[in-house]
């Protein structure tokens, strides 16, 4: 199972979700990206790094990147942080793309803490959404660690 998490700039919500999902789904391949290109190559926003670190997640090695057309073929599931991100992804989705595309948080969005300053609130929503995702049978069975 390959999962891509997407937000606007790839410096707050999606890198935090990448770290949380890597923790929850160690057998899955997890990545993150942004719909915009303003922060490409830069580390996550320092307040998000600090908030994540306080919960045991290390974002320090992550670097922002922009969504690429190949992502829609390379990933099984692409999760958008809000409806605007989802609409942007739908607009650039290439014909014949195989990835399932939906909101990260069922029934809602993860507000952008870059604007609100609520990094802990965003992490609360991200952790809850990750736990809900992991509990879905098609996700948990596809990412189960295989033993010999």
CATH of 2-142, one of 3.40.50.1000, 2.60.40.3950, 3.40.50.150, 3.40.50.2300: 3.40.50.2300
The catalytic position among 12, 13, 31, 82 is 13
The reply to whether the predicted model has a pTM over 0.85 is yes
Residue 98 token pair: 């195989």
- 12 catalytic? Reply is no
The catalytic position among 31, 82, 88, 112 is 112
Question: Read out DSSP for 13-75?
Answer: HHHHHHHHHHHH-TTSEEEEEESS-TTTTPPPPHHHHHHHHHTT---TT----B--TTHHHH-
- The residue assigned the tokens 């919960």 is 55
Interatomic CA distance for residues 86 and 24, integer angstroms: 23
The catalytic position among 7, 12, 24, 65 is 7
Domain ranges of the chain: 2-142
Tens digit of each residue's pLDDT (9 = 90 or more) over 9-67:
999 999 999 999 999 999 999 999 999 999 999 999 999 999 999 999 999 999 999 99
């Amino acid at each position: 199972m390959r999962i891509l998490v997407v937000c606007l700039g790839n410096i707050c919500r999606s890198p935090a979700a990448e770290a949380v999902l890597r923790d929850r789904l160690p057998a899955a391949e997890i990545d993150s990206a942004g719909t915009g290109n303003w922060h490409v190559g830069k580390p996550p926003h320092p307040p998000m790094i600090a908030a994540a670190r306080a919960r045991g997640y290390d974002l320090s090695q992550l670097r922002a990147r922009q969504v690429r057309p190949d992502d829609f073929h390379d990933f099984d599931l692409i999760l958008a942080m809000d409806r605007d991100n989802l609409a942007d992804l739908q607009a650039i989705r290439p014909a014949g793309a195989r990835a399932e595309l939906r909101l990260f948080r069922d029934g809602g969005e993860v507000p952008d803490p870059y604007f609100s300053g609520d990094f802990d609130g965003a992490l609360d929503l991200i952790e809850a959404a990750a736990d809900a995702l992991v509990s879905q049978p098609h996700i948990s069975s596809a990412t189960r660690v295989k033993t010999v």
